[in-house]
Amino acid sequence: MDVQAIKQRFGIIGTSPLLDRAIDIASQVAPTDLTVLISGESGVGKESFPKIIHQFSARKHGPYIAVNCGAIPEGTIDSELFGHEKGSFTGAHEARKGYFEVANGGTIFLDEVAELPISTQVRLLRVLETGEFFKVGSSKVIKTDVRIVAATNVDIPDAISDGKFREDLYYRLNTVPIFVPSLKDRKEDIHLLFRKFAADFAEKYRMPVLQLTGDAVKVLMNYRWKGNVRQLKNITEQISIIEKNRLIDGQMLLKYLPAKLSRDLPVLYKREQEQKEISERDLLYKVLFDMKKDINDLKQVVGKIMKSEDISHNIQQNNAQLIKELHQTVENAGSYPEDFQTDNFQIHHPSNVGAIVEPIQDSEVVEESLSIQEKEIDLIKKALAKYNGKRKNAAKELGISERTLYRKIKEHNIN
């Protein structure tokens, strides 16, 4: 049977090539007894594919059982799947057959298979490998001939890494993988599905069919349908019941769409509150970014100050070394050189003065300020003076942004 005929038979709506590919794989693997793992986001319609596989297999006249593994409590999941003997646990007043025994000769669909406890995964692996299992509280081996089709919306490789799913079981289940695309991957089907659901609910509730305006169609197509087909169907039903006006525009449709899930909406359709949240977040990022730049600017200023102090220290060391060398020259030569002067000392020939080395009397020793703020103010003033008050050039000279320079001028009240 071709893909289009399968869609009609199982009520699958859509023209997406990805959807057609998934249906084609299901129809091809159906005649075999291979285990199939169906993956895809929640609400994409994974439950239709085990039915396709069962109906086009040699087991179509046998039982078909669908089990939601996530809905069964961990303490009873083994009993549900494999059965139990009378008295095997509290409340087991009589023996009971499990799904694997009941579905013998048919197909069992394990939905949300990633939710199975590890101990149950071990039992399931034994069924896949040998076709055998034990009832809870029994040591008797039971044979079963069941085809297993599993489905999950969980990334199983991640679950394996977290120790929540057995790797060997994954490879046994994933003999033939089928991926069911989400609505974001088949946007061409969104409006088609809405019209189908709207028509169904109009018939069900005996009311006129909903119609969408052009801007409403854009909202529908650009919305991020986290719940996929299931969410779209629920929204369509809500609007069908609540709205008296059967022509739905974009603003009316937005009232039914959760704002937190509408991240794919264009800016035109974002709600005011959402825009406020985004602007506050962006403002926080901007403040943090500015703080980082200010710290870097401060590091540069301190670096320049330290560099200038190092230069001054080096000059003093060089002067001391030079004086030492002159003394050595005097001792070796037995005579004095001509008058010599440095920034801090003056050396006279003996014919001019009796002392060889004496401090310059007119130099005034001023204690240097160690305040980083004062150094910063001084550097800013010097840079502004150098460039006649042009902030752009002064900022470049200081190695900071013009915006930072402007803020520091205001902060230090520099004229």
* The model scores a pTM over 0.85: no
pLDDT value at residue 309: 58
CATH class as words, domain 3-181: alpha beta
**What is the pLDDT, as a whole number, of residue 154?**
94
For residue 58 the two structure tokens come to: 């040699």
What pLDDT does 265 receive? 44
| Arch. (CATH architecture) of 368-415 | Orthogonal Bundle (1.10)
pLDDT of residue 72: 94
Instruction: Return per-residue pLDDT of the chain as tens, 415 residues.
Output: 789 999 999 999 999 999 999 999 999 999 999 999 999 999 999 999 999 999 999 999 999 999 999 999 988 999 999 999 998 888 888 999 999 999 999 999 999 999 999 999 999 999 999 999 999 999 999 999 999 999 999 999 999 999 999 999 999 999 999 999 999 999 999 999 999 999 999 999 999 999 999 999 999 999 999 999 999 999 999 999 999 999 999 999 999 998 765 544 444 434 444 444 445 555 565 666 667 667 777 777 777 776 665 555 665 666 566 566 655 655 565 544 444 454 444 545 444 444 444 444 444 444 555 577 788 888 888 888 888 888 888 888 888 888 888 888 888 888 7
Q: Residue 401's pLDDT is what? A: 85
pLDDT digits (tens, 9 = 90+) for 120-178: 999 999 999 999 999 999 999 999 999 999 999 999 999 999 999 999 999 999 999 99
Portions of the chain given CATH number 3.40.50.300: 3-181
CATH 1.10.10.60 domain position(s) in the chain: 368-415
Arch. (CATH architecture) of 185-270: Orthogonal Bundle (1.10)
- Residue range(s) of every CATH 1.10.8.60 domain in the chain: 185-270
